[in-house]
Amino acid sequence: MSTSVTASPAKNTAPRLRTPRKKHTPGKPKRNVLLTVLMALMALYTVVPLIWLVINATKTQSGLADSGGLWFAHDFALWDNIRTTFTYHDGIFGRWLLNTLLYVVLGAGGATLLAVLGGYALAKFQFPGKRAIFAVVIGAVAVPATALAVPTFLMFSKMGLTDTPWAVIIPSLVSPFGLYLMWVFAAEAIPTELLEAARMDGASEVRTFFQVALPLLAPGIVTVLLFTTVATWNNYFLPLIMLKDPDWYPLTLGLSAWSSQAQTIGGDVIFNLVITGSLLTILPLIAAFLFLQKYWQSGLAAGSVKE
């Protein structure tokens, strides 16, 4: 982050990796073994299903049936499973992966862009209707998403958008939380005097935004982008309603289709592919969270900054 950003929320956020906060107490608190053991039990609870997933992705369909869940079967079929996952049914899994990427790039990318522009406007401009926008957007967060699902489907269907990628992308473009986070972030990170100075020098609003404001917003943008990406990557309900053609499915919908295929009469039982596909679906997001830790943690904490 730029050193000139003295008011940046990220400065106040403790959970950054390399800038430990001052000790809680005058004396250093004693490490507690019992507390650590209890915490380890909790961590075990969150991790066991993931370990189960990794182990079982190495098994064949028959290995799944006759070996214990938390240990390997005789045959180690991970590479086979990955290959079959990508080749089964003419490589439809690869197609779902590309669809998911498309929805993420356009949906989450677009949502972040709209949130950054809107948050900047709310933080740095006075304009007619501003209060109304705030009230309506915050109120909308409380409206159950599914109350909107059926009418949105019917509307989109009249507009000829259902069963096209747009039916998934357009609703993903609105992230009220992203807007809120960018608003708080922009208010803290961009000194109004800096904008005034740019305007005095004759810069247009567009140029002021791109050259002065945007660089200061970078940490907030990364956080919003990461969380809208998770929302889009994990989206299930919206595509379930909007899409009939398996060629446009995202990974989530494809996996659930593979899983329920075993229940239909004469359906191919491919639990090994469901498990391997699940593993392949979560790896990119887990990697993103691990590598971008310091960004999203500081960005999340930005919402908790005391004023």
Residue 39 within binding range of other proteins, rule CB under 8 A? yes
Residue 207 within binding range of other proteins, rule CB under 8 A? no
Q: List all residues 6 or more positions away from 220 whose beta carbon is below 8 Å from its beta carbon.
A: 9, 116, 119, 181, 182, 185, 186, 189, 299, 302
Site for other proteins in 44-83 (CB under 8 A): 45-47, 49-50, 52-53, 56, 64-65, 68-70
Residue 266 within binding range of other proteins, rule CB under 8 A? no
Site for other proteins in 77-106 (CB under 8 A): none
How far, in Å, CA of 240 to CA of 256, rounded?
A: 10
Distance in Å, CB of 48 to other proteins, minimum: 8
Work out which of 142, 200, 202, 245 binds other proteins, going by CB under 8 A.
Answer: 142
Q: Which residue has the tokens 């899409």?
A: 243
Distance in Å, CB of 29 to other proteins, minimum: 4
Site for other proteins in 173-192 (CB under 8 A): 173-181, 183-184, 187, 192
Nearer to other proteins, 95 or 124 (CB): 124
DSSP state of 161: -
Q: With CA atoms as reference, report the closest residue to 14 among 238, 304, 298.
A: 298
Nearer to other proteins, 147 or 202 (CB): 147
Token pair for 226: 């990461």
Token pair for 18: 């390399």
Work out which of 136, 197, 210, 268 binds other proteins, going by CB under 8 A.
Answer: 136
How far, in Å, CA of 303 to CA of 15, rounded?
A: 13
Work out which of 3, 25, 201, 245 binds other proteins, going by CB under 8 A.
Answer: 25
Work out which of 133, 212, 222, 269 binds other proteins, going by CB under 8 A.
Answer: 133
Q: Which residue has the tokens 């990119």?
A: 284
User: DSSP for 93-110?
Assistant: HHHHHHHHHHHIIIIIHH
Site for other proteins in 245-264 (CB under 8 A): 251-253, 255-256, 259-260, 262-263
Distance in Å, CB of 211 to other proteins, minimum: 15
Of the candidate spans 75-83, 84-92, 130-138, 214-222, the one that interacts with other proteins by CB under 8 A turns out to be: 130-138
How far, in Å, CA of 209 to CA of 120, rounded?
A: 9
Give how far Cα 23 sits from Cα of 9, 14, 28, 34, 300, Å.
20, 11, 7, 21, 22
